[in-house]
Amino acid sequence: MPPPSPSPPSARAARSRAASKLPLTATTFLSLSILLLPLGFLATHKAFSAATAGHHHRERVLLQVQDQDGVSAPNANGNANQDEHAAAVERHCAGTLHRAVCVSTVSAIPGLAQKPVWDVISMVVSRAAAAVRASASNCSSYLARPHGLRVRDRLALADCVELLGHTLSQLATAAAELESRAADEEDDDDAVAAVQTVLSAALTNQYTCLDGFDGPSASEDGRVRPYIQGRIYHVAHLVSNSLAMLRRLPRRRNRKQGPRRSTLEGYDDDDGRVLRRRRGFPSWVSPGDRRRMLQQGAPVGADLVVAKDGSGNFSTVGEAVAAAPNNSVARFVIYIKAGGYFENVEVGSEKTNLMFVGDGMWRTVIKASRNVVDNSTTFRSATLAVVGTGFLARDLTVENAAGPGKHQAVALRVNADLSAFYRCSFAGYQDTLYAHSLRQFYRDCDVYGTVDFVFGDAAAVLQGCSLYARRPDPGQKNAVTAQGREDPNQNTGIVVQGGKVAAAADLAPVQANFSTFLGRPWKQYSRTVFVQTKMESLVHPRGWLEWNGTFALDTLYYAEYMNRGPGANTSARVAWPGYHVLTNATDADNFTVLNFVQGDLWLNATPFPYALGFS
């Protein structure tokens, strides 16, 4: 990994986004991963029983009828069937980013011309699942080797195995949703968004796996990545094609949505209005959970209590998480009393509907210091890592104390769907808040950092949050965001609505010595929007920073709308093709409708950030 400063063009050109643990922990994790992986595969086998083996790429589609011996036989309708089949292949592969893979995949589907789009996408997803199993087996075979792997490579491979396991689960979810919707003549937006969300996450997982082999302490001799990346890319290309096909599905407006509604489904008040109250929450947060989120002080009837002084059920957060039930359909509340908890905590995918409640920001603190310089991967460096669906947290602080010289060091990493955080603070330097994937909501939270301190490829909204730039190392530049969308059909991005961008206490006295930018494009289709946000004078007049030369400047989507403050003046902003100053509600409505109609629903489960205040 290049130096941690985002000084172009050499700044972090190769960035690690995978994960690691300390060696002893890694050994345990790897063993469990290898043992559990076949179980995950068996659990999802039924959903993908229709998966077929790969075929050679071909641009010309031919259809032959074979007799019982497998010999081509005359077909009275051969020419017509061939033309019909070829036309269907062209139709389904139009607009895909990986055409050769698409043609090879869909041309093998019998009766393609008669199949609805839902069925075709389902079959491509099945093929992707088969490719995931092959890729996971390949990675596991390298992990099983007793010698020849460096620690960092072994940790990165372990991340790949975990991420491929998540991918199988996400593809199974997509397959089930596709199957349930296949009989519908029209497809409502919630159904499309549900599939698009999990496929977007599945795609992100592949690139996170590969990112783990980059950066400081990674192998420079290419002894592992070249031997796994071909299969990983094949999975990514299959999922990318599925996302492209999904965009062409017919739509009907959800009954709750009016003809001029300026928001997307998922983050409305119960009566369907756009969120206007300061204390509004997404509609998927139940009334009971809303009361829990808004409650002050200790929760009533917490299921478990964590206390440093021994007055609770456990003295560490990790012990309480381990004791929580698996796959819970009811909310399970862990109350964490005031104190400093020096540990790395992981909320696994089996720990669903968990909630952390603390005694307040900077009173309840979960703190650790993993980082890439000391041989972690970015993915595994998180002080708190959350995967379990439906996770909620309020009134606590999560900190990575590695310091600015340790490069990537994550405080909070979230790849849990339908997760929400209220009155929490996240403190670090580089890569503080890793909004990795799926749908996330942050309300009235504080985030502290220097380089790319809000990053990832989730559909994430930070509403009413304060983003504080800290003093970086000499020669560094601050970048608030680094969004990681790899594909234009992913429904992902970072939206900052309300709140403020300001200097932290350590930066304010020396603010003139450092430049602070709103963001830079980590990946090719990076997407970030600032709406109705107060921008203090620390924001550089150009607003945005290049990643490396002209990379992604014409494919990113960066926008500002109705911001205020001394740093919000857009007259000297960058002149990139992908940068937009939205000046009126019509422009914003066109953007919303465009993405809504075309299936790019990255804000489907969030409040549309510039809906408020429209006349």
Complete DSSP assignment for 293-336 = HH--SSPTT-SEEE-TTS-SSBSSHHHHHHHSPTT-SS-EEEEE
Percent of the chain's residues with pLDDT above 70: 71
Sheet holding 534-535, edge to edge: 339-342, 364-368, 397-400, 425-427, 446-449, 466-469, 500-503, 534-535
Q: Is the dihedral of CA 301, 307, 309, 313 positive or negative?
A: positive
DSSP H helical segments within 520-584, as ranges? none
**Predicted local confidence at residue 180, as pLDDT:** 78
> In the predicted model, is pLDDT for residue 21 greater than 80?
no
**Predicted local confidence at residue 53, as pLDDT:** 35
**Predicted local confidence at residue 262, as pLDDT:** 31
**Cα gap 263→26, rounded to integer Å:** 43
pTM, full prediction: 0.80
Which residue's structure tokens are 């290898």?
A: 34
**Predicted local confidence at residue 222, as pLDDT:** 62
Mean pLDDT, rounded, of the chain: 78
Instruction: Name the more confident of 156 and 59.
Output: 156
> In the predicted model, is pLDDT for residue 137 greater than 80?
yes
> In the predicted model, is pLDDT for residue 337 greater than 90?
yes
How far CA 550 is from CA of 100, 494, 573, 615, in Å, comes to: 28, 21, 16, 37
- What number of other Cβ atoms are within 10 A of residue 208's Cβ? 29
Q: Looking at the annotation, which residues are catalytic?
A: 452
Average pLDDT for 96-103: 94
Indicate the helix (H) or strand (E) that contains 358: none
- In sequence order, the 6+-apart residues with CB closer than 8 A to the CB of 322 are none
How far CA 164 is from CA of 158, 206, 324, 388, 580, in Å, comes to: 10, 8, 25, 16, 36
| pLDDT band (50, 70, 90) for residue 81 | confident
| pLDDT band (50, 70, 90) for residue 78 | low
Of the listed ranges 187-196, 204-213, 355-364, the least confidently predicted one is: 187-196
**Cα gap 493→509, rounded to integer Å:** 32
- What number of other Cβ atoms are within 10 A of residue 113's Cβ? 16
How far CA 70 is from CA of 64, 458, 536, in Å, comes to: 10, 48, 72
Which residues face 251 on adjacent strands?
187
**Predicted local confidence at residue 223, as pLDDT:** 75
| pLDDT band (50, 70, 90) for residue 117 | confident
Residues 246, 572 contacting (CB under 8 angstroms): no
Which residues face 433 on adjacent strands?
412, 454
Joined tokens for residue 251: 């739509």
Instruction: Name the more confident of 461 and 365.
Output: 365
Q: What is the pLDDT of residues 561-602, one digit of tens each?
A: 889 999 999 999 999 999 999 887 565 543 332 332 222 332
Average pLDDT for 328-349: 95
- What number of other Cβ atoms are within 10 A of residue 57's Cβ? 14
DSSP H helical segments within 182-224, as ranges? 189-211
Average pLDDT for 14-23: 36
Which residues face 305 on adjacent strands?
335
Residues 474, 513 contacting (CB under 8 angstroms): no
Complete DSSP assignment for 243-282 = HHHHTTS-EE--TT--TT--S-TTSB-TTSPBP-STT---
Closest to 200 in 3D by CA, of 179, 174, 182, 176: 174
**Cα gap 396→99, rounded to integer Å:** 48
Joined tokens for residue 610: 């510039």
Average pLDDT for 239-251: 87
How far CA 595 is from CA of 12, 490, 530, in Å, comes to: 31, 11, 17
**Cα gap 86→80, rounded to integer Å:** 10
